[in-house]
Amino acid sequence: MLPAADITGMVLAGGRGSRMGGVDKGLQAFLGQPLALHALQRLQPQVGMCMLNANRHLEVYQGFHVPVHADVLPDYAGPLAGFLTGLTHCTTPWLLTVPCDSPRFPRDLAARMAATAVREHAQIVLAAGPEAGRDGALQLRPQPVFALLHRSLLPSLQDFVQQGGRKIDAWTAQHAQALCHFDAAGDDVHAFANANTLQELHLLEDSA
């Protein structure tokens, strides 16, 4: 098994929050505290150390008592900018990223992702979790912002973004990767539900 001490966790809270009206999504309340703090507290017991990626209200995020890093790329360049920021500052062999807007991710996320990395000899592990399709039926789909990344991938990601790349799957396809499956039967059906709007956030809170 991969020891938890070899993994740095990072909460991604650096987006524009466009579908929430431009608010800082990580600071919206979920069960009485900011989304990003809720995600951080859920992640901390699973890994060796944690940090947070944010591009606004850095002084507020610094009050969460973990290192806070703004994107190393300008203009809200998306999740890959968060990956790049995390790998740039990561001092452990592995980086595990989680988004701030999916506050119910599994409490054994890191352990299961790490086990998949070892078993599959993968440099990248992405979570695959239940998600409702257009017909409302649950389907197992990749959740690419839940990513376990080996630190050696930093030069590759730097080259990819310098060439204008912004899509996660286009970059991950270049490396040995694997999916870690979280099914609706054995896991929280809302484990990977993300709150893109305030209404979705309230619904997710009501179902908790």
Reported as a single tens digit per residue, the pLDDT across 40-70 is 999 999 999 999 999 999 999 999 999 999 9
pLDDT score for 35: 95
Residue 173 one-letter amino acid: A
- Reported pTM: 0.94
Q: Is 80 exceeded by the pLDDT of residue 185?
A: no
Residue 138 tokens, joined: 């649950």
Average pLDDT, the chain: 91
Task: Identify the band that residue 187 occupies on the pLDDT scale cut at 50, 70 and 90.
Answer: low
Q: Cα torsion for 129, 130, 133, 137, to the nearest 10°?
A: 160
110: Cα separation from own chain's centroid:
11
Who has greater pLDDT, 17 or 125?
Answer: 125
CB atoms within 10 A of CB 107: 13
Q: What strands, in cross-sheet order, belong to the sheet with 49-54?
A: 68-69, 49-54, 7-13, 94-99, 138-150, 124-132, 177-181
The full DSSP string for 135-189 is TS-EEEEEEEEEEEEEGGGHHHHHHHHHTT---HHHHHTTS-EEEEE--TTTS-T
19: Cα separation from own chain's centroid:
18
Per CATH, domain 4-206 is 3.90.550.10: yes
Q: Annotated binding site for Mg(2+), which residues? A: 101
What is the distance between the terminal CA atoms of the chain, rounded to a whole angstrom? 31
pLDDT score for 17: 67
Distance, in Å, from the CA atom of 104 to the CA atom of 43, rounded to the nearest integer, reads 10
Distance, in Å, from the CA atom of 1 to the CA atom of 189, rounded to the nearest integer, reads 27
pLDDT score for 186: 61
Distance, in Å, from the CA atom of 28 to the CA atom of 155, rounded to the nearest integer, reads 34
Number of H helices, E strands in the chain: 7, 9
- DSSP state, 134? T
Q: Is 90 exceeded by the pLDDT of residue 176?
A: yes
Q: Annotated binding site for GTP, which residues? A: 12-14, 25, 53, 71, 101
pLDDT tens readout for residues 114-161: 999 999 999 999 999 987 766 767 788 899 999 999 999 999 999 999
Task: Identify the band that residue 19 occupies on the pLDDT scale cut at 50, 70 and 90.
Answer: low
pLDDT tens readout for residues 32-44: 999 999 999 999 9
187: Cα separation from own chain's centroid:
18
Q: Annotated binding site, which residues? A: 12-14, 25, 53, 71, 101
Who has greater pLDDT, 188 or 12?
Answer: 12
| Alpha-carbon dihedral sign for residues 140, 191, 70, 199 | positive
